[in-house]
Structure 1
Amino acid sequence: MRLERLQLRALRCISDAGLEFAPGFNVLVGANGAGKTSVLEAAFLLSHGRSFRSGAREALLQRGSAGLSIFSTVRHADGRLVRLGLGREGSRWEARVEGQDVLIGQLVRECAIVCFEPGSHALIAGSAEERRRFLDWGVFHVEQEFLPTWRRYQRALKQRNSLLRSNQAPDDDIYSPWELELARTGTLIDQWRRVYLAALTGYLREQASALLPELGAAELRYRPGWPEGDDLVQVLANQRRRDLAKGHTSAGPHRADWSLSFELAPQREHLSRGQEKLVALVCLLAQARLDAERRGEWPVVCLDDLASELDLSHQVAVIERLEAAPAQVLITGTEIPVPLRQAQTKVFHVEQGRLTPLL
């Protein structure tokens, strides 16, 4: 898929801007703080329903504006042209597909975007929540029943946690209905995650061997969030008293995690900050490759401040890999990255929230 047009209003420093993107490489250049990253952020919002910037929800709205809006025209590989919209008035978000109000999940399903940005190293060095988000975004785009199942799981989890916080006695007749629902939906979520990670592993190794050959063979480990091989409903029943003391449910897929280790760097602590960024990029490119295989079209690939995040040799390696893929790529920087200066690209100059096509 590719973004043909992106229209932004009142998003951070961008008052009103429209961009017509090329199918291949698109580069946004300008000074720091000019608004380049906000363009990638807008695309990411359409694809994830949230920003990649931490604590960004309130800061998204341009100061003095009552609301913001993002509109896009998306071209799919089969030729379908779909109009997408996401707007916010006050604290309320509204999503539209082809002019019709829809749930955020329906909007996100139409738009697949992976983004490498300065905070991406959190995928490796940050909390398990970041890695679950990465994993579940991939599962969501290939498993139609994932989202409704996940919502049922979250509803049951909220109910069980409410019982725990209200200090309800750990009786079967009170807790069992919610634990059965948690086990039923949680087991499905776990199965889908395992299938997805099994498919992703080959692409992870391929990308890692290209970008981080010095670390040796890559291995992916997955922890489901409760003891491997145990029945989740029995685990929940056995842990009621302990969970009562804690006030929350301590086992289930909401506690899952995964990690990528290497033959010559078996622990995350063995990686430098630069290597953490490259491992995160490996994961994102592998996810893009798997998404392309499963859905028959590449997601849009966004690379924020590429020249600052990667040294020249790795910039060249990444650009070469993306040139070989039929992917639309959006890149930001204070100048055109060296590997793209002789390539066919569309360039936009960004200054104080204004965007001007140059080439």
Structure 2
Amino acid sequence: MRLDRLRIQGLRCLHEVDLALAPGINVFIGANGAGKTSVLEAVFLLSHARSFRSGAREALLARSASRLSVFAELRQANDRLLRLGLGREGARWEARIEGEGASLGQLIAECAVTCFEPGSHALIAGAAEERRRFLDWGVFHVEHGFLDIWRRYQRALKQRNSLLRAGMEQGSPLYGPWETELSALAGWIDSQRRNYLERLRPSLHACVAALLPELGAPELRYRRGWADDRDLHEQLEAQRGRDLGRGHTSLGAHRADWSLAFEHAPQREHLSRGQEKLAALGCMLAQARLYADHHGDWPVICLDDLASELDEAHQASVIAQLTESGAQVLVTGTCLPEPLRGLPHRMFHVEQGQLTPLL
């Protein structure tokens, strides 16, 4: 898929932007703070309904703006042109497809964007929440019913946590229905996650090993969030006393995690920051490849500040892979990355939130 047109209003320093994008490589160059990353952020919002920047929710709105919006004309694999929009006024997001109101889930199902940016190393070294987001985004694009099940799971989890925080005695029958619900939904979520990881494993091993051959063979490990040898319902009942002390539910699908281990770096603490970034990049490329295998079309690829995140050899390797794939790529930098010289691309200069086409 590719974005033919992108219009942004009221996002950070981008007050009014209207771009016609190339189907291949698009490069956004400018000084730090000019607004380059915000362009990628707008594209990412259409696919995730959140920013890839941590703690960004309240900072998204441009100064003096009362509303932000992102509009795109999306060209899908069958050459179908789809008009998508996402806006926010206050705290609530509103999605539109072909001018009609839509749910966020419907919007996200239509638009797929993956992003490698300076914070991507958190996928390897950060908290489990980041890895669950990565995993669940992939599962959602294989099984769209996942979102509804996940929301039901979150509601049941909230109810059990409310009982715990209220100090409800552990023998109370009020826990039973919610623990039954949590157990059934968690089992379905776990099954979908395992299926997705099995599909992802070959591409992930190949992509990561190509970027980090010195670390030896990679191994993908998954923990579902509760013990494998006992039913979750049974474990939740046994755990009530401890959970009462904590005030939250300590077992379940919301506690799942996965990790990468290497033959010569069995613990993530053995990795340098640069190796963490390359491992995260390998995960992103593997997920994009699997999406393409399943849908017959690559997601839009965003590479933020590529030249400062990767050395030139790795830049060249990634650009070569993506050029061969035919994916639409959006790249930012203070100048044109060296591996892009001589390759077809469209370039935009970004200065104080204003974008000017150069090529």
TM-score by length of 2: 0.99
Note the alpha carbon deviations across 1:65-110, whole angstroms, 9 max, x for none.
1111110010100111111101111222211111111111111111
Structure 2's unaligned 5+ residue stretches are: none
Which residue is 1:263 aligned to? 263
- 2: distance between equivalents of 1:326 and 1:192? 29
Q: Shift of the alpha carbon at 1:144? A: 2.0
Which residue is 1:289 aligned to? 289
1:61 is the counterpart of 2:83: no
- 2: distance between equivalents of 1:147 and 1:11? 27
Which residue is 1:332 aligned to? 332
Q: After alignment, is 170-179 or 218-227 more displaced?
A: 170-179
Which residue is 1:250 aligned to? 250
- The residue type paired with residue 245 of structure 1 is G
Which residue is 2:113 aligned to? 113
Which residue is 1:38 aligned to? 38
Which residue is 1:156 aligned to? 156
SS of 1:131's partner is helix
1:94-109 alignment runs, 5 A limit: 94-109=94-109
1:127 is the counterpart of 2:127: yes
Residues 114, 300 of structure 2: 8 Å contact kept: yes
Q: Shift of the alpha carbon at 1:173? A: 2.2
Which residue is 2:224 aligned to? 224
- 2: distance between equivalents of 1:166 and 1:208? 46
- The residue type paired with residue 303 of structure 1 is L
The 1:172/1:234 distance shift into structure 2, 3 A limit, reads farther
Number of residue pairs the alignment of both structures matches: 359
Residues 109, 144 of structure 2: 8 Å contact kept: no
What is the percentage of aligned positions where both structures have the same residue? 65
1:308 is the counterpart of 2:296: no
- 2: distance between equivalents of 1:147 and 1:93? 17
- The residue type paired with residue 37 of structure 2 is T
1:184 is the counterpart of 2:184: yes
- 2: distance between equivalents of 1:326 and 1:182? 42
- The residue type paired with residue 335 of structure 1 is C
- The residue type paired with residue 102 of structure 1 is A
- 1: distance between equivalents of 2:203 and 2:226? 27
Which residue is 2:239 aligned to? 239
Q: Shift of the alpha carbon at 1:250? A: 0.5
Structure 1's unaligned 5+ residue stretches are: none
Q: Shift of the alpha carbon at 1:228? A: 1.6
SS of 1:58's partner is helix
Which residue is 1:276 aligned to? 276
Which residue is 2:198 aligned to? 198
Note the alpha carbon deviations across 1:201-254, whole angstroms, 9 max, x for none.
101111022111111101000000001232111111111111111111000010
Q: Shift of the alpha carbon at 1:174? A: 1.1
Q: Shift of the alpha carbon at 1:172? A: 5.5
- The residue type paired with residue 198 of structure 1 is E
- The residue type paired with residue 219 of structure 1 is E
- The residue type paired with residue 283 of structure 1 is C
SS of 2:355's partner is strand
- 1: distance between equivalents of 2:194 and 2:209? 23
Q: After alignment, is 299-308 or 317-326 more displaced?
A: 317-326
- The residue type paired with residue 157 of structure 1 is L
TM-score by length of 1: 0.99
- 1: distance between equivalents of 2:50 and 2:144? 20
Which residue is 1:50 aligned to? 50
Residues 149, 189 of structure 2: 8 Å contact kept: yes
- 2: distance between equivalents of 1:89 and 1:3? 24
Q: After alignment, is 166-175 or 81-90 more displaced?
A: 166-175
- 2: distance between equivalents of 1:245 and 1:53? 33
Residues 25, 344 of structure 2: 8 Å contact kept: yes
- The residue type paired with residue 128 of structure 1 is A
- The residue type paired with residue 315 of structure 2 is Q
- The residue type paired with residue 324 of structure 2 is A
Which residue is 1:209 aligned to? 209
Note the alpha carbon deviations across 1:253-306, whole angstroms, 9 max, x for none.
100000011101111111100000000000000000001111221000000000
SS of 2:229's partner is coil
CA RMSD of aligned residues (A): 0.8
1:147 is the counterpart of 2:147: yes
- The residue type paired with residue 59 of structure 1 is A
1:82-97 alignment runs, 5 A limit: 82-97=82-97
